[in-house]
Structures are given as structure tokens and as C-alpha cells.
Structure 1
């Protein structure tokens, strides 16, 4: 076993947990933000999201099983939820809920709330990528941040709330799914 394979196997338990979280939030982004589209698109997107989530979960658990339980103990559990992680989560929570309070309660612009959520969640992946030394999270952060900015641009251009939700919300859900899919595809490549 090469050093790269060993490192990948040590990180797999963290990947499984992260994949489950990403799949859950990705599904939430898609289901929660597709409702404003014209029929039959909400149903199509929601069914597709559920099917994709099930496929990704099965692939994630199969990948975890291929590595086997003996490597789980090698996972660095203390760094997963260490001080850096909690600092990122604290800043995210303050920005998320503080911003939503201003957007919804002060400015009364609920149509851009999804863009704000996508922005904050996207930016928090920069911090997690640094804390967990996971460059993939920087790609995810960039993608979600760009989708959020596109949502704000759509708002200022006069687009509908459904269009903003599609780009910033459904798009972010797809980005989260892709962040799970990419490592799964990479793990299947020969060393």
C-alpha cells in the first residue's frame, strides 16, 4: 500500500460522514428551492434529487465497506471536530442567522435569502478546507460562492424569486452532490 493510499484510507471515515451531511444538505437545497418553478419542474427536480441522493449514499457506503473497519481506527478523530472546526461553525452560524435576520426582518427581501444561505455555506467550506486540509472543499466553496453571487446578480437584474432559487439554491444542491461524487469517482481510478 502506498502512502497516498494509506492517507486516502485514513480519511475515508471522515469522507463518509461528510458525504452523508453533504447529501442531506444538497437534497434540502434542491427540494426546498425548486417549488417556485413552473410545473412539472418541481416534481422532476425533487424526484431526481432523491434518486441522486440514494445512489450517492449507496456508493458512499460501498466505498466505506471496501476499505473495511480495520482502518477506521486510523482516522484522526481529534482534529475532525477540533477548535478550528468549531470556530468555522460559529462564524458560519453568526453570519447565517444574522444575515437572514437583516434580509428577512429588516430589509424584507426574502427572495434573496437563499443566495445569502448559499454564500455563507459556500464561504464556510474555505475554512473547513483549510482546517481539514481538503482542497476539494475550496472548489466546492468557490462553486457555491459563485452560485450565490449569481443569485444576487439575478435579484438586482429583476429576476423572479424562482430564478434566484434555481441558481443559488438548486445549483448549490448540485454542487454539494458533485463534491461527493468526485472523490467516489477518483477512488475508483487505479493507483
Structure 2
């Protein structure tokens, strides 16, 4: 989100849809990867994720003020879902499903599937950060990549599916929520600047 001249803040292209997608994937990472934990933690984490997701979506959709006349800059709007975006997504899909096929069907190590997903999703944020000239995504990419690597380490150290799911799955969900919250907070901080 950027600020306009005395007209209040405006969002950069894709802010709303990107925040909703990140919130949805964050919820999926948490809800889908906490089931192997001891009771009552799966229920606690799922309810907490649902409440956090609802709060984030409400905050994202809440009106922020009038957009400046002229709308988003053409250079930013054209890049949101331009060629670079689709290249990053295509590489992500190939790496994601190709890697999962090897992990599950060849190596039979389904316990680390979520660590692989977190790694690929994390790395794709480096590409998106470059394509969109948005360094904030590099922080998210780094967080998710570290969480993915930590999940592999947990597995190699003898941890089971619950441990990998907690570190790489639930951790990545929290990182995605944090990125949405960071985007909202940065928008508010910019809106308050003269």
C-alpha cells in the first residue's frame, strides 16, 4: 500500500488478493499440519488459525481511504500478473509436484512432504520479490526456507511427522500470517506519513 497526496493510502496492485491468498495458505498450513500433535493442540491451533484468519481478512478488506486520481502506476500494475509472475509460478508448480512425486512415490518419506512444500513456496517468494520489486517478500522467503530446512533437520534427528508438521507446516502458516500483518502495518505507517 502506498500513500497518496492528501487523499489517504492506497494499496499496491494485488494487495487484497495476495493477502487473502496468503491468509488462506497460512490457514491451510496450520490446520493441515497440526493433526499429529497431542490433544488438545490440534483443536487449539485450528481454532486459533481460524480466528486469526478472520481477523486478517477483515483488516485487509476494511476500507483505507480514497485512492489518488490516476490509480496504480502502470509499471507496477503490469508486473503483478505479467510474464515474470507466471514464470515464477510455473517453476513453483513443477518443483512442488515433481519433488512430491519423488518424496512420496520413490523415497516413501511422506513425513517430509510438508517441509518440501514449505521450501518450494518459500523459494518462490524470492522470485516474486524480484518480479514485483518488493523486498518484503524476501523476508518471508527466508523465514519459510529456514522453517523448511528445520523440518528436514527434525526428521533427520529422529523426529516424526508431528515434529516436521509443527516446524515446517504450522511455522510456515504463522510466517504467512505475519507477512499479511506486516503488510497491513506498513500500510498504516505509510498512511500516517506526511
The number of equivalent residue pairs is 185
Which residue number in structure 2 is paired with residue 18 of structure 1?
Answer: 18
Question: 2-side partners of 1:69 and 1:58: how far apart?
Answer: 19
How do residues 78-117 of structure 1 correspond to structure 2 at under 5 angstroms?
78-117=78-117
SS in 2 for 1:36: coil
Question: 1-side partners of 2:99 and 2:4: how far apart?
Answer: 42
How do residues 13-162 of structure 1 correspond to structure 2 at under 5 angstroms?
13-62=13-62, 65-68=63-66, 73-74=71-72, 76=74, 77-162=77-162
Q: What's the C-alpha RMSD, in Å, of the aligned pairs?
A: 1.8
- Name the TM-score, length of structure 2 as normaliser: 0.90
Structure 2 residue ranges without an equivalent (≥5): none
Question: 2-side partners of 1:81 and 1:186: how far apart?
Answer: 23
8 Å CA contact retained: 2:119, 2:144: yes
- Name the TM-score, length of structure 1 as normaliser: 0.91
- Structure number with higher helix proportion: 1
Deviation string, structure 1 residues 32-86 (Cα, Å, up to 9, x no partner): 0010100000000000000000000011111xx2133666942643211111000
